[in-house]
């Protein structure tokens, strides 16, 4: 199974969690379209927990509802979330053994509809499920969304706790964007932000305060293995940048997510 390139993304700090608090004021942006609690509520409504059947809450990640066609919903997550299962890569797309927990705590059976061909590709996967029980909201994906430094953002997902079990409760952290690279690292990671992102939050949303999806969580702070700051041509960042970049979480921008969907036509 080809999982080695994603190892540094799977291992996140497990022995402490950030303080998950409600914030009444936004500190980083002069344009305050929505209050903190409104953005958090919206984030929860579009975020799902992604996990294999019979996982006993010891394997899993997060995902975002991004498209709806009639009763069919499409979810984006990280490939390394899907790759945690014991299935071989060629088995994943023919398997319906993944489960989706929506914000109302309902569980849906999902099918994997896209995974990258190579571990050098973008760390993105798509799943879909069908339900007529209710209409779920989906994220706003703007093709012309400008991603700027100092933008206030929240990051959400379903983190693992000190008991090594994934929480079934959605949680968020706050922060701001401090890096927007001209070209992405391997995996598609291009947006650096100060929010704490821990194991289980991979695949969850990064939202601005206009409730627009900016990117998908995937790489936490202080990765333990390998060099995640490598570009497709094999080059890496200068030594002087390591400490700054290590203090950031990293997201795949929505531009890459939209491009994958358009090219693969699912």
pLDDT, tens only, 135-144: 999 998 887 7
Token pair belonging to 228: 């995640």
- In this predicted structure, what is the pLDDT of residue 225? 79
With a cut of 80, say whether residue 11 has pLDDT above it: no
Instruction: Using pLDDT thresholds of 50, 70 and 90, give the confidence band for residue 53.
Output: confident
Between 207 and 225, where is the model more confident? 207
When pLDDT is averaged across residues 78-85 and rounded to a whole number, the result is 87
Model confidence over 210-223: pLDDT tens digits? 999 999 999 999 98
Q: Which residues are bridge partners to 215 per DSSP?
A: 206, 253
Q: How far apart are alpha carbons 220 and 201 in whole angstroms? A: 9
Instruction: Using pLDDT thresholds of 50, 70 and 90, give the confidence band for residue 93.
Output: low
- Contact in structure between 206 and 217 (CB atoms under 8 Å): yes
DSSP secondary structure of 243-258: HHHHTSEEEEEHHHHH
DSSP secondary structure of 72-130: EEEEEE-HHHHTTSSS-HHHHTT---EEEE-TTS-EEEEEEEE--SSTTS-S-EEEEEE
With a cut of 90, say whether residue 174 has pLDDT above it: yes
- In this predicted structure, what is the pLDDT of residue 9? 53
- In this predicted structure, what is the pLDDT of residue 25? 36
Q: How far apart are alpha carbons 164 and 167 in whole angstroms? A: 9
When pLDDT is averaged across residues 110-130 and rounded to a whole number, the result is 93
DSSP secondary structure of 29-70: -S---S-HHHHHHHHHHHEEEEEETT-TTSS-EEEEEEEEET
Q: How far apart are alpha carbons 255 and 42 in whole angstroms? A: 21
Instruction: Using pLDDT thresholds of 50, 70 and 90, give the confidence band for residue 54.
Output: confident
Q: What is the mean pLDDT of the chain?
A: 86
Domains of the chain: 15-44+140-258 (2.40.10.10), 47-139 (2.40.10.10)
Instruction: Using pLDDT thresholds of 50, 70 and 90, give the confidence band for residue 90.
Output: low
Between 77 and 27, where is the model more confident? 77
Of 252, 227, 266, 248, the closest CA to residue 121 belongs to 252
With a cut of 50, say whether residue 86 has pLDDT above it: yes
Model confidence over 27-46: pLDDT tens digits? 334 455 799 999 999 999 99
The H or E element containing residue 259 is helix 254-264
Cβ atoms within 10 Å, residue 89: 17
Model confidence over 95-106: pLDDT tens digits? 567 999 999 999
Instruction: Using pLDDT thresholds of 50, 70 and 90, give the confidence band for residue 155.
Output: very high
The predicted model scores a pTM of: 0.86
Q: How far apart are alpha carbons 81 and 141 in whole angstroms? A: 22
């Amino acid at each position: 199974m080809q999982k080695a390139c994603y190892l540094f993304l799977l291992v996140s700090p497990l022995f402490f969690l950030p303080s998950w608090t409600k914030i009444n004021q936004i500190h980083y942006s002069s344009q305050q379209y929505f209050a903190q609690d409104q953005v958090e509520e919206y984030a929860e409504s579009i975020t799902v927990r992604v996990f294999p059947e019979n996982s006993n809450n010891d394997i899993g990640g997060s995902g975002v509802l991004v498209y709806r066609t009639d009763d069919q919903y499409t979810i984006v997550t990280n490939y390394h979330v899907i790759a945690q299962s014991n299935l071989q890569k060629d088995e994943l797309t023919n398997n319906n053994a993944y489960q989706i927990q929506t914000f109302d705590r309902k569980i849906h059976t999902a099918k994997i509809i896209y995974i990258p061909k190579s571990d050098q590709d973008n760390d993105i996967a798509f799943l879909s499920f069908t339900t007529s029980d209710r209409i779920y909201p989906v994220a706003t994906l703007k093709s012309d969304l400008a991603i700027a430094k100092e933008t206030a953002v929240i990051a959400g997902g379903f983190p693992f706790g000190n008991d090594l079990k994934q929480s079934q409760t959605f949680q968020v952290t706050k922060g701001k964007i401090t890096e927007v690279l001209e070209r992405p690292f391997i995996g598609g990671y291009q947006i650096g932000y100060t929010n704490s992102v821990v194991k289980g939050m991979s695949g969850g949303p990064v939202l601005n305060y206009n409730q627009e999806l900016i990117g998908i969580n995937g790489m936490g702070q202080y990765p333990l293995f390998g060099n995640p700051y490598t570009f497709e041509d094999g080059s890496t960042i200068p030594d002087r940048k390591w400490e700054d970049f290590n203090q950031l979480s990293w997201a795949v921008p929505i531009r890459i997510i939209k491009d994958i969907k358009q090219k693969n036509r699912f």
